[in-house]
Structure 1
Amino acid sequence: MHIIQQLSVLILSIILFTDFTVINADNYVEEDVDEIAKDNMTEECIGQKEFCNLSREDYIAMLNDYIYPHTYEWVLIGTHTLVFITGLVGNALVCVAVYRNHSMRTVTNYFIVNLAAADFMVILFCLPATVLWDVTETWFLGDVLCKMLLYFQSVSVTVSVLTLTFISVDRWYAICFPLKFKSTTGRAKTAILIIWALALTFNAPELVVLTTEKSVPLRFELEYLVQCLATWSSNSDLVWHIIKVIFIYTLPLLLMTVAYHQIVKVLWRSEKIPGQAETIKLAPAEQTQLRSRRKAAKMLVAVVIMFAVCYFPVHLLSVLRYTLDMEQTDVITCLALISHVMCYANSAINPLIYNFMSGKFRREFRRAFCCSTASDLENFTTLSRITTSKKRPCDLMTFETRAQGRNVCSTTFIHSSYKDRYILT
């Protein structure tokens, strides 16, 4: 009996020990699972904690909803689309107009074509990428295009301001000192090459420092919220923007202001063509030439004013963002988007200025849309040049048409209502 009791106690002890061991093992397993879950949660949960429980699909859907355009952004897209179409068509027409009409191949118009070519390329290549970037807050085009497109955009702006500066200097010499400097198309072509060389060299640092970086940490490897940024320090970035504001905006505008002020004084405070004696009374043709030069000066001044107005906000924001350490509020974001629109609008508005203020460009724009017919030629007259009495051979004349089976050559002047449009400025 005593032996049976001892065996019963021994069996009960073994059972209790076994249960205790199993319970402790289960507790250890649960604790290990909790620790592993915590470790996994720590590794996967990057960014804000309220998004840690989202699956990959839900997380991507949330990001897509975030970058989807809002109402005001659709207005921005529509505005850029209008600028895109207007800029491409207008700048292409400027190049076509000068190419088709030999009488328009003047020194000033060569510079205008260079300006139009730069504007055309920046609108075609840079505007769509910038709109996508502004709306989605993401640079989707990779590291290479980050360097190339932003670099080319800066080059185009530099080409524009240098071209306007060269035009003002050329007109200043031609009008204020006509006997000291002879402006030729060959020198204009050389100046254009110099302009592009300077622009490519000046903006070379951006080609080195620009790269893509993720501005916000994401849970998964996703190409969202990637930015195209410069890798140098904030101080270096500030210095670079100040240099651009001084040399690519302020100093050229001061030079152009002085040049056009002198040009206006000469053309409007005198009733003679520069270079002629005071006692010579202007003939009707010379009066027409003076009016033509005044029109050209007004057009160029309007182009410079529009450049100054359109690029002022973006330069101002660039400097204030670094000097005042402004936070990225909704107001600042809106102002930045508007400043971007104005920069691209400047590239599209120049052809409109030419159309409204230059009869030559206006007529060539119309010719680009509707080809001249035989009925149009009835309005043309074969007037000889008013600046010379020598006859010119057929191959040197501007217009050459066929009528009634014969070659009919006319001079650079057509119907009397258009004659003042073809005086070279």
Structure 2
Amino acid sequence: MERNLSRCIQTDNITSLVDAKSFGYSNGETFYTTVFLPLIAFFGVVVNLAFIFVVSRVPRMHTSTNCYLINLAIADIVFLLTGVGEKLYRFVKSPIHGDDTPIQNGGCVWIYLITDTTYFVSLCFVTLVSIERFCAVCKPQNRYCISKSKAGVLACIAWMLSVCLASALITTNSKFFTICIIWPKEALYLNYPESWGLCTAFYPWVKAYGEGMQTIPFFLTLVINGIMYILIIRGLNKSVSRLKSHSERSSEIDSRMRDQITRMLIINGFIFFLCLAPFEILSFIEMLSGIQKRLLFHSDTLVGLSYSARALAYINCVINPVIYTTMSQRYRHAFKQVFSIERPSVPVTGQSCTTKYIGSTTQEHVRVNFDSRL
């Protein structure tokens, strides 16, 4: 059958069976795409939906912090459904690994726009939660917490800013190239497609620009949150120290609650940035490779590291609500209220603390801010 090569930017004549086999999915890649990612997506969507349902169901959980956390959970759900969904769709439609032909030009724009938006949104809401926690703990003279209306405005701004940043990355994947392939004359490759597609940038320097646009906000957010965490921990220590001269019992209670919130803050922050850091470091290395026009790692090593880094990024969308609920008595109690078969001992319709004044003692500060997470 005569091939139509006019639509291809190049034609690859594959004569080696080893080279031809490298185009397909390996056993590890097949397991990763068809088993690991669907399980992660299913579990992630379930726990994030449960988190959203519980917070929306219990009025006393209607705080500005939870407004940010709900938006963060929504971003995680969208990321999981889009990222895992498009990989499963590619796997079903084409036997060639990394083939962008199933998504075509439209997918080159919209899929990456959506996933990039959710990525920037996560960074925004992580920072908003940290800022609110910092203000509550380190600025007790401001005797109020941000209202839901203000939190809603900030949430809208975060989404709009994230869309703008993601739109700035469209050019890094907006060009769809078609490459024709002449396969070996083996029975295995008789039904293989005659071409495969690739979403990429028009120019190599645009790819390096995209890597920089992705990594710089991450490391900037990491530094900002790290500084605020240190200041928050210092503020908690100072507040508890001031109470030691007032009441020994109160100091003991405050110390215990301080330790709980400190552990929760450190663990959530550490895991969030730990899960995303490998992928961002690899992106930074890719940017340097593009600038220097040479590979800094062997391609096989880079592929293995890339799969591990992406797996951690997907796990990050699942594990945060689990850790936060595990470490917070308030959230555990809310889950029991909503999902318990028996009638809850404390009414579900509690008073919202959205406009509640924050007291002047550390014990009151911790109680108000104990339901925040990174």
Tell whether the structures are fold-level matches, with TM greater than 0.5.
yes
Question: Which residue, 275, 299, 308 being the options, matches 1:310?
Answer: 275
- Superposed counterparts of 1:86-165, under 5 Å: 86-130=43-87, 136-139=97-100, 140-165=102-127
CA shift, 1:115, in A, is 0.7
1:101/1:398 contact within 8 Å kept: yes
CA change 1:69–1:293 in 2 (3 A) is same
Unaligned runs of 5+ residues in structure 1 are: 1-39, 52-61, 383-395, 400-419
* Distance in 2 (alpha carbons) for counterparts of 1:43 and 1:75: 34
CA change 1:130–1:207 in 2 (3 A) is same
Matched with 2:31 is: 75
1:300 and 2:265 matched: yes
Matched with 1:84 is: 41
2:105/2:176 contact within 8 Å kept: no
* Distance in 1 (alpha carbons) for counterparts of 2:24 and 2:14: 23
CA change 1:92–1:217 in 2 (3 A) is same
Question: Which residue, 361, 368, 371 being the options, matches 1:424?
Answer: 368
3-state SS of paired residue (1:182): coil
1:122/1:153 contact within 8 Å kept: yes
Q: Which runs of 4+ in 1 moved over 6 A?
A: 40-45
Q: Which amino acid aligns with 2:98?
A: E
* Distance in 1 (alpha carbons) for counterparts of 2:103 and 2:308: 23
CA change 1:300–1:227 in 2 (3 A) is farther
Q: Which amino acid aligns with 1:114?
A: N
CA change 1:295–1:131 in 2 (3 A) is farther
Q: Which amino acid aligns with 2:229?
A: Y
CA shift, 1:190, in A, is 1.4
Question: Which residue, 373, 384, 392 being the options, matches 2:342?
Answer: 373
* Distance in 1 (alpha carbons) for counterparts of 2:73 and 2:152: 15
Q: Which amino acid aligns with 1:323?
A: L
Q: Which amino acid aligns with 1:190?
A: V
CA shift, 1:192, in A, is 0.7
* Distance in 1 (alpha carbons) for counterparts of 2:236 and 2:305: 39
* Distance in 2 (alpha carbons) for counterparts of 1:87 and 1:200: 23
1:132/1:138 contact within 8 Å kept: no
Question: Which residue, 207, 214, 228 being the options, matches 1:244?
Answer: 214
Q: Which amino acid aligns with 1:216?
A: I
Q: Which amino acid aligns with 2:29?
A: E
1:225 and 2:157 matched: no
CA shift, 1:160, in A, is 0.5
* Distance in 1 (alpha carbons) for counterparts of 2:99 and 2:89: 8
Q: Which amino acid aligns with 1:353?
A: I
CA shift, 1:182, in A, is 3.0
Matched with 1:264 is: 233
Unaligned runs of 5+ residues in structure 2 are: 184-191, 352-363, 370-374
3-state SS of paired residue (1:271): helix
1:317/1:336 contact within 8 Å kept: yes
Matched with 2:187 is: none
Deviation per CA, 1:11-38: give whole Å up to 9, x if none: xxxxxxxxxxxxxxxxxxxxxxxxxxxx
1:88/1:120 contact within 8 Å kept: yes
1:354/1:362 contact within 8 Å kept: no
1:97/1:364 contact within 8 Å kept: yes
1:104/1:424 contact within 8 Å kept: no
* Distance in 1 (alpha carbons) for counterparts of 2:200 and 2:142: 48
CA shift, 1:150, in A, is 0.7
CA change 1:66–1:49 in 2 (3 A) is closer
- Superposed counterparts of 1:22-421, under 5 Å: 46-48=11-13, 50=15, 68-77=24-33, 78-130=35-87, 136-139=97-100, 140-180=102-142, 182-184=144-146, 185-208=148-171, 210-214=173-177, 216-218=179-181, 222=193, 224-231=195-202, 233-246=203-216, 248-271=217-240, 280-281=246-247, 291-292=256-257, 294-324=259-289, 325-326=294-295, 329-368=299-338, 370-374=339-343, 377=344, 380=345, 398=350
Query: Aligned-pair RMSD on alpha carbons?
Result: 3.6
* Distance in 2 (alpha carbons) for counterparts of 1:229 and 1:357: 43
3-state SS of paired residue (1:217): strand
CA shift, 1:272, in A, is 6.0
CA shift, 1:101, in A, is 1.0
Rg larger in structure: 1
Q: Give the number of the structure with larger relative contact order, counting CA–CA contacts within 8 Å between residues 6 or more apart.
A: 2
* Distance in 2 (alpha carbons) for counterparts of 1:99 and 1:353: 19
Q: Which amino acid aligns with 1:122?
A: F
- TM-score under structure 2 length normalisation: 0.76
CA shift, 1:319, in A, is 2.3
CA shift, 1:127, in A, is 2.0
Number of positions where the alignment pairs a residue of Structure 1 with one of Structure 2: 331
* Distance in 1 (alpha carbons) for counterparts of 2:332 and 2:233: 24
CA change 1:331–1:101 in 2 (3 A) is same
* Distance in 1 (alpha carbons) for counterparts of 2:319 and 2:57: 22
Percentage of matched positions with identical amino acids: 19
- TM-score under structure 1 length normalisation: 0.68
Deviation per CA, 1:272-294: give whole Å up to 9, x if none: 68xxx88643775x965775465
CA shift, 1:223, in A, is 7.2
CA shift, 1:225, in A, is 2.6
3-state SS of paired residue (2:75): helix
Q: Which amino acid aligns with 2:77?
A: F
* Distance in 2 (alpha carbons) for counterparts of 1:130 and 1:146: 13
CA shift, 1:258, in A, is 0.9
